[in-house]
A = this chain, B = another copy of it.
């Protein structure tokens, strides 16, 4: 196999009480990417559609992630990459991570899978370093593992994969405003009260328990964030209304996706997730804010070979 076309999922990081540690992969929202072996060494970005991104490999996250992999690979050639970006940059649903993760996953397949998923995460983190200045795994981990991922520790990198409860569906609304990850991080305080900390790890414990036992009520009760959401939500227009109406429409929980501005909700069925989407739509229609709206199941596999319908779509 010399060529592969992959689906690179959008991801939700910082899931409420899981700030900096818990993320999930979406099933039907993501980019498409074609990766081909070539004799020439290094990475060549052949084409980027859907978005204006650098084509020089060292300035493109897929290129940088790919080069990190090539440095460790027993392979004398290189790869060409064509990317069809569907996830908007700065959306807060892991646009750069999708490209980084997709590139290294595809290359690993073409080389006969010499690397573990954990190693692929480490390569993809180099793409995140280019994108945001920090080699974080919040989005590349769920993009590569699928389902939910808990990053227990960075040193050493310890990622726990959790299969998603089958009935869980995500709704994501992306207001067309820009918040830079770096700005969004700057407004956070560097200290928190011990009391809020205890609430946060109590909730994260509850959420992880809910995911393993498929206890949707517990998942809902645990989707709280007393630390980051009260601060960052100020940057997101209509956040309180989005959350209120999502919960009234039946969502289990609702919070900020990544560092925003996207807002996510989790629901217990596709029907409810669609009602939540309608409720979110109403809020932004009233406020006159442009948005993208997604409803997706949780992706079980992360990056994967594109399905025939996805492949034809491009």
Which A positions have Cβ atoms within 8 angstroms of B? 17-22, 150-153, 158, 160, 162, 188-195, 197-209, 212-213, 218, 221-222, 227
Whole-angstrom CA separation of A206 from B204 in the bound complex: 10
Interface contact B158-A198, CB-CB below 8 Å: no
Distance in angstroms between the alpha carbons of A21 and B203 in the assembled complex: 10
Asked if B202 and A21 make an inter-chain contact with CB atoms under 8 angstroms apart, the answer reads yes
Q: B204, A205: Cβ atoms under 8 Å?
A: yes
Partner of A218, one of B160, B197, B206, B218: B160
Please, which residues of chain B bring their CB within 8 A of the CB of A207? 205
Are A205 and B153 touching (Cβ within 8 A)?
Answer: no
CA distance A248 to B188 in the complex (A): 40
A28 to B: closest C-beta gap in Å: 26
> By the criterion CB–CB under 8 Å, are B189 and A221 in contact?
no
* A192 in contact with B202 (CB, 8 Å): no
CB of A221 within 8 A of CB of B152, answer yes
* Secondary structure type dominating chain A contacts: helix
Report how far A199 CA is from B222 CA in the complex, Å: 18
Q: In whole angstroms, how far apart are the Cα atoms of A160 and B222 in the complex?
A: 11
Residues in B with CB closer than 8 Å to A152 are 202-203, 205-206, 218, 221-222
| Apart from A152-B202, A158-B221, 18 more pairs, CB < 8 Å | A18-B201, A19-B198, A19-B201, A22-B205, A150-B206, A152-B206, A160-B218, A162-B209, A189-B194, A191-B192, A192-B197, A197-B197, A197-B200, A197-B227, A208-B208, A209-B212, A212-B212, A212-B213
How near does chain B come to A160, taking the closest CB pair, in angstroms? 5
Q: Report the bound CA distance from A201 to B224 in whole Å.
A: 13
Find chain B residues with CB under 8 A from A19 CB. 198, 201
Tell me, rounded to whole Å, the shortest Cβ–Cβ distance linking A254 to chain B: 18
Contact: A194 with B190, CB < 8 Å? yes
Interface centre among A151, A209, A227 (most CB of B within 10 A): A209
Please determine whether A205 and B21 come into contact, CB atoms closer than 8 angstroms.
Answer: yes
Q: When chains A and B are docked, how far (Å) is the Cα of A81 from the Cα of B195?
A: 37
Contact status of A206 and B22, CB under 8 A, knowing A153-B221, A201-B200, A201-B201: no
Nearest residue in B to A160 (C-beta to C-beta)? B209
Question: 9 A-B contacts, Cβ less than 8 Å apart?
Answer: A17-B201, A18-B205, A151-B202, A152-B218, A158-B206, A162-B209, A190-B194, A192-B193, A197-B201
Most chain B CB neighbours (cut-off 10 Å) among A18, A153, A222, A227: A153
Nearest B residue (CB) for A213: B212
- A142 to chain B minimum Cβ distance, whole angstroms, is 14
For the complex, what is the distance from the CA of A150 to the CA of B218, rounded to whole Å? 12
B198→A20 contact, CB < 8 A: yes
B residues in contact with A191, CB < 8 Å = 191-194
Please measure, in the bound complex, the distance between the C-alpha atom of A221 and the C-alpha atom of B151, giving whole angstroms.
Answer: 12
